[in-house]
Amino acid sequence: MTEPELGAVERTSYETEINRNRRRTLLILAGLFVLTVLVGLAVDYLVHGGLVVAVLALVIAIVMAWVAYFKSDAVALAVSRARPADGPEFRRYHNLVDGLCIAAGVPKPRLFVVDDPAPNAFATGRDPEHAAIAVTTGLLATMNRVELEGVLAHELSHIKNYDILIQTVAVVAVGAIALMSDLGLRILFWSSIFGDDDDRQNNNPAGIVVAVLAVALLVLAPLGAVGMQFALSRRREYLADAQAVAFTRYPPGLASALRKLQADGAVVRSATKATAQMWIETPLDVRPDERGARLNRMFDTHPPLEERIALLEAM
């Protein structure tokens, strides 16, 4: 196979992966929307006047969304103890981002560094014009030029694809579902204690069945919403890997970087469960032999590194 033919095959491979993951992302976001509506209907059915509760939850969710939209980058950088990447020691960092921004067609984001020996990186911001990339000092020390370029291309793809905004939408949806479910169950509990029962539900078998299903939905919906949120995060990681290849034109660079991350397994001290989804690889201490770690992969914030490496090697 000639070099142009090989390049065409590589382009087809990662374009197919990008399109597949975009479709899955839309399905997951649609699932979160449907689940939010179902929880609202369940609350309305069970507590009679639950529409007021749903409206209250919606107002709170709007406030949460406003804060998350305009302040998510500042919060993420502050929590991660990131500082501006100023000084000559970060020249390679800036030069690589400059070149990648030209290839990606996005404005140069603000660059930050986190003083931590664990190699890792994340992107944050609401859109390409208000974005930032942060890398750890461990990443800068561990990666060679092509590996660092692959990692930075991965983070730029998150910025170009508005992944941080999508994650914000998912976080707000999960928060609204949890809020409505909690309020609905609390109101239902106190109503039952004070004898505010619904005769229609108590005397009608169909009503009883619907009530039981509604209660089950309120109990299980937050769990399912969190699972969909993490699934969304995993899908975006696959997409960012695939699109990073479009920017660098060199899949082995990112694949080699991920292998180093896999071999290192170090924990970022400033990372939290709330920010874990942003990093290129999970920054928390999640060990394979930890109790319950293999029980349910739906709550992993990142896809397995071996799968991501295999996809890159196939491009």
Q: pLDDT tens across 98-127, in order?
A: 999 999 999 999 999 999 999 999 998 888
Catalytic residue numbers, as ranges: 155
Question: What phi and psi, each to the nearest 5 degrees, are found at residue 114?
Answer: -110, 125
| Bridge partners for 112 per DSSP | 84, 134
Question: How high does pLDDT run on average in the chain?
Answer: 78
Angle made by CA atoms 244, 109, 306, in degrees to the nearest 5: 30
Greatest mean pLDDT among 17-31, 46-60, 203-217, 229-243: 229-243
Most confident of 157-166, 181-190, 196-205, 218-227: 157-166
Distance CA 276, CA 57 (A): 26
* Cβ atoms 255, 146 nearer than 8 A: no
pLDDT of 130 higher than 50? yes
Q: Note the pLDDT of residue 92.
A: 96
As a whole number, mean pLDDT of residues 242-254 equals 92
Q: Is the pLDDT reported for residue 136 higher than 90?
A: yes
| pLDDT at res. 106 | 92
Position 289 pLDDT exceeds 50 = no
The per-residue pLDDT for 292 is: 46
List the one residue out of 262, 238, 206, 261 whose CA is nearest residue 315: 238
Residue 90 has pLDDT above 80, yes or no: yes
pLDDT (mean) for 194-216: 63
Q: Rounded to whole angstroms, what are the CA distances from 6 to 13, 111, 308?
A: 11, 35, 21
Q: Give the tokens for residue 162.
A: 């508005």
User: Higher-confidence residue: 13 or 177?
Assistant: 177
Cα distance between residue 12 and residue 8, in whole Å? 6
Res 200 pLDDT > 50:
no
Radius of gyration, alpha carbons of the chain: 23
Q: Which helix (H) or strand (E) holds 231?
A: helix 205-248
Rounded to whole angstroms, the Cα distance separating 174 from 158 reads 21
Average pLDDT over residues 158-180: 76
Q: Which of 33-47, 58-72, 82-96, 213-227 has the lowest mean pLDDT?
A: 58-72
Q: What is the arithmetic mean of pLDDT over 164-180?
A: 72
